Amino acid sequence: MAVKFSPQAVKEFEETLARYPHKEAALLPVLLLAQREFGVLSDELVQYVAGLMDLPPSRVKSVVTFYTLFNTREVGRYVIRVCHTLSCALNGTEEVIEHIKKRLHIDVGETTPDKKFTLLECECLGSCNTAPVTQINDRYYENMTLELVDQILDSLE
């Protein structure tokens, strides 16, 4: 069956377009909407969004593959993105990553067998003054400590 937005997503798509001066400017929020609706931005979904946005699929694909917040493969319910850029690296991000790996018994790039957590490293999350920083789905966790990792994972498990 061909990919198609639900009626609710169509409504949200139209409301999103109305907030921007021209269609292409709405591409990022439309891709986030598509990701919320389908989970993974597959090639078929990229084609669908390109059609909706009157853009070449290659243009949409280049945006999807540029931003690490877009999922191009299956991920868990909670996507943990740990910043490993300079400020975070200097403030203990490696310990945070190792702790999460031990807690979840997965490596970076992997998903837990129950499909609950995916662990990823990412580039600067733009909050260097509160390094180390981790993002889980849409939420930022700043000044990460191993205790905070435990508290967060306990609350999500």
- Residues of the shown chain interacting with ligand FES in the complex, contacts defined by CB under 6 A: 83, 85-88, 124-128, 131, 133
CB 130 to ligand FES: min, Å? 8
CB 88 to ligand FES: min, Å? 3
CB 128 to ligand FES: min, Å? 3
Q: 33 φ, ψ to 5°?
A: -60, -45
CB 31 to ligand FES: min, Å? 22
CB 94 to ligand FES: min, Å? 12
- Tell me the β-bridge partners of 120: 81
Q: Which is nearer to ligand FES, 30 or 125 (CB)?
A: 125
DSSP letters of the chain? ------HHHHHHHHHHHHTSSSGGGGHHHHHHHHHHHHSS--HHHHHHHHHHHT--HHHHHHHHHH-TTS-SS---SEEEEEE-SHHHHHTTHHHHHHHHHHHHT--TT-B-TTS-EEEEEES--S-GGG-S-EEETTEEE-S--HHHHHHHHHHH-
Q: Which is nearer to ligand FES, 72 or 130 (CB)?
A: 130
